[in-house]
Amino acid sequence: MIEFKLQNHEYIPLNKLMKLLNLVQSGGEANQAIEEGLVKVNNVLETQKRKKLRAGDKVEFQENVVSISAGLESQRKTSL
């Protein structure tokens, strides 16, 4: 499992996450994988390319599972 920490952001778009973690080679490839129904978010097939992923979400693509967690700054904001 891959853990991705949100740093100073409330969310990250699904296609951007896939590109940042090198799960795909380009944003276009990420969009295509999502459109083709190859990506799940929280065990549900996801077709929104820019789905907002927040702390606690889980993304599945091919053999990869990504867990989204809050970074230090995000944790402080949510505890106020």
Q: How far is CA 31 from CA 12, 16, 36, 45, 70, in A?
A: 15, 9, 9, 14, 24
Question: Model-level pTM?
Answer: 0.85
Give the pLDDT mean for 48-56: 98
pLDDT in tens, 4-37: 999 989 999 999 999 999 999 999 999 999 999 9
Query: Which residue in the block uniquely carries the two structure tokens 């920490």?
Result: 5
Query: Which residue in the block uniquely carries the two structure tokens 């091919």?
Result: 62
H-type alpha helices, 21-71:
27-35
In CATH, 2-79 is 3.10.290.10: yes
**For residues 38 and 60, what is the distance between their CA atoms, to the nearest angstrom?**
8
Q: How many CB atoms are closer than 10 A to CB 30? A: 23
**For residues 76 and 45, what is the distance between their CA atoms, to the nearest angstrom?**
31
Domain ranges of the chain: 2-79
